[in-house]
Amino acid sequence: MAMLVLLNGPPASGKSTIARRLTAARPLSLCLDVDVVRGLLGNWLESPTEAGLAARSLAIAMARAHLQEGRDVIVPQFLGRPDFIEQLAAVAAELQVAFVEVALVVDRTVARRAFDVRSAMPADGTHEDAAALIERSTSADPLGDMFDRYDELVEHRSSAHRIEVVWGDVDATIARVDEVLVGRR
């Protein structure tokens, strides 16, 4: 049976890296990075909120199509509000596939440092985009605000599987996530 997996976590918590590795180990599964989809939209940075909503809408359609083919979908995405989580869960329920919500738990100070390093030397366009969004923010502490929203959301998500990130050991973190996923098959 196909599975829809949400990997939620604060910026620089390893969501995309974990998702890519999980996808690589599951033939024909889809790593559905909403930030990549958003980056495909023309001039998205001029209207980031609208672009984010459009990317999520496209991601829902893509997830539905792939799940209907009986294939897993893994969505690495920072979420500080439940709307998109509920949309993903609804698609899984509609298609009668497992929905697994994983909340990555990270030390805020370590993640901030990782974000700063990643922003200074971005490995891909999504890292550049994240840095650009933070730069454009009018908040005094945009990263802190994101962490606060994430912590508040996760506190109220009883269905989320909280997974402690093992800094410097991606394999150990993936093993923890895999334990949860194997239990849901």
Length of the chain: 185
Region 54-63: what's the mean pLDDT? 98
- Do the beta carbons of residue 71 and residue 30 sit within 8 Å? yes
> What integer pLDDT is reported at residue 19 of this predicted model?
97
> What integer pLDDT is reported at residue 110 of this predicted model?
87
Calpha distance 64→88 (Å, rounded): 9
Q: Which domains does the chain have, with CATH numbers?
A: 3-184 (3.40.50.300)
Tell me the pLDDT tens digit for each residue of 74-126: 999 999 999 999 999 999 999 999 999 999 999 989 888 888 887 887 777 78
> What integer pLDDT is reported at residue 84 of this predicted model?
98
Predicted confidence band of residue 129 (pLDDT cuts 50, 70, 90): confident
> What integer pLDDT is reported at residue 184 of this predicted model?
73
- The answer on pLDDT for 185 being more than 80 is no
User: Both tokens of residue 97?
Assistant: 């596939």
> What integer pLDDT is reported at residue 71 of this predicted model?
97
- The answer on pLDDT for 1 being more than 90 is no
User: What is the CB neighbour count within 10 angstroms for residue 54?
Assistant: 15
- The answer on pLDDT for 145 being more than 80 is yes
